[in-house]
Chain A
Amino acid sequence: MTEQTISTPNKDLSKELSKEHARDVFRAMLRARVLEIKLSNLYKAGKIVGGVYIGKGQEAVSASLGACLTWNKDVFAPLIRDQAGRTAFGEDPLDATRTYLGSAKGPMRGRDGNLHRGRPAEGLLAMISHLGAAVAQVGGVLLAKRIKGELDGCVGATCVGDGATSTGAFHEGLNFIAVERLPMVVIIADNQFAYSTPNDRQYACDDLIDRAKGYGLEGHSVDGTDMLECATVIGNAVAKARSGGGPQLIVAKLLRLSGHGEHDDGSYVATELQEGRYGRDCNDVGKQQLIEKGWLTELEYSKWMLEFNAEAQEAVAVAQREDGPNPYKEEWSAIASPSLKGLQ
Chain B
Amino acid sequence: MAVTYIDAIRDAQERALAENPKVFLYGQDIGKFGGAFKATKGLQEQWPDRVIDAPISEDAMIGMAVGAAIEGMRPIIEMQFADFSSVAFNQIVNQAATHYYRTGIPVPIVVRLPSGGTPGSGPFHSQSMESIYAHYPGTVVVTPATVADAHSMLLQAVDLDDPVIYCEHKFLYRWLKSDNFEGDNLPIGKARITRSGKHATVVTYSAMVHEAVRAAEILYKEGGWEIEVVDLRSVKPLDIDTVVASVARTGRILALGEAFPWGGVTSEVVSRVCAEGFHLLDAPPMRLNAKDTPVPYHPKLWAMHRPTPESICEALRNLLAY
Known A129-B125, A130-B84, A168-B87: A110·B55 in contact at CB below 8 Å: no
Q: Are B120 and A49 in contact (CB under 8 A)?
A: yes
Q: Are B86 and A102 in contact (CB under 8 A)?
A: no
Q: Which of A188-239 contact B (CB under 8 A)?
A: 194-197, 201-203
Q: Binary interface profile of B, 75-87, with partner A (CB < 8 Å = 1, else 0)? A: 0000001011011
Q: Are A332 and B122 in contact (CB under 8 A)?
A: no
Q: Are B56 and A166 in contact (CB under 8 A)?
A: yes
Q: Binary interface profile of A, 95-110, with partner B (CB < 8 Å = 1, else 0)? A: 0000000100000101
Q: Binary interface profile of A, 321-344, with partner B (CB < 8 Å = 1, else 0)? A: 000111110101110000000001
Q: Are B297 and A102 in contact (CB under 8 A)?
A: yes
Q: Are A268 and B32 in contact (CB under 8 A)?
A: yes
Q: Are A167 and B297 in contact (CB under 8 A)?
A: no
B residues in contact with A42, CB < 8 Å: none
Q: Are A111 and B296 in contact (CB under 8 A)?
A: yes
Rounded to whole angstroms, the CA-CA distance of A333 and B261 in the bound complex is 12
Known A167-B87, A327-B303, A344-B262: A102·B298 in contact at CB below 8 Å: yes
Is A290 positioned at the interface, with any CB of B under 8 Å from its CB?
A: no
Rounded to whole angstroms, the CA-CA distance of A128 and B81 in the bound complex is 13
Q: Binary interface profile of A, 110-150, with partner B (CB < 8 Å = 1, else 0)? A: 11111010000000000011110000000000000000000
The residue from A195, A201, A330 contacting B301, defined by CB atoms under 8 A apart: A330
Is B50 positioned at the interface, with any CB of A under 8 Å from its CB?
A: no
Is A169 positioned at the interface, with any CB of B under 8 Å from its CB?
A: yes
Q: Are A50 and B122 in contact (CB under 8 A)?
A: yes
Closest to B81 in A: A129
Is B119 positioned at the interface, with any CB of A under 8 Å from its CB?
A: yes
Chain A binding surface, main DSSP class: loop
A residues in contact with B301, CB < 8 Å: 110-111, 325, 327, 330
Known A168-B87, A196-B32: A111·B297 in contact at CB below 8 Å: yes
Q: Are B29 and A325 in contact (CB under 8 A)?
A: no
B residues in contact with A128, CB < 8 Å: 123-124
Q: Which of B16-24, B103-111, B164-172, B286-294 contacts A (4 or more CB under 8 A)?
A: B286-294
The residue from B56, B59, B119, B293 contacting A333, defined by CB atoms under 8 A apart: B293
Q: Are B298 and A111 in contact (CB under 8 A)?
A: yes
Rounded to whole angstroms, the CA-CA distance of A303 and B292 in the bound complex is 50
Rounded to whole angstroms, the CA-CA distance of A277 and B233 in the bound complex is 53
Q: Are B33 and A195 in contact (CB under 8 A)?
A: yes
Q: Are B28 and A197 in contact (CB under 8 A)?
A: yes
Q: Are B296 and A130 in contact (CB under 8 A)?
A: no
Q: Please indicate which of the listed interface residues A110, A324, A326, A333 has the most CB atoms of chain B within 10 Å of its own CB.
A: A110
Q: Are A194 and B56 in contact (CB under 8 A)?
A: yes
Rounded to whole angstroms, the CA-CA distance of A51 and B121 in the bound complex is 8
Rounded to whole angstroms, the CA-CA distance of A197 and B56 in the bound complex is 9
Contacts A116-B122, A196-B32, A201-B54 supplied; 6 other A-B pairs, CB < 8 Å: A49-B120, A49-B299, A130-B84, A166-B56, A334-B293, A334-B294
List 8 A–B pairs whose Cβ atoms lie within 8 Å, in order of A's numbering. A48-B120, A111-B301, A116-B124, A128-B124, A163-B56, A324-B300, A327-B300, A332-B293
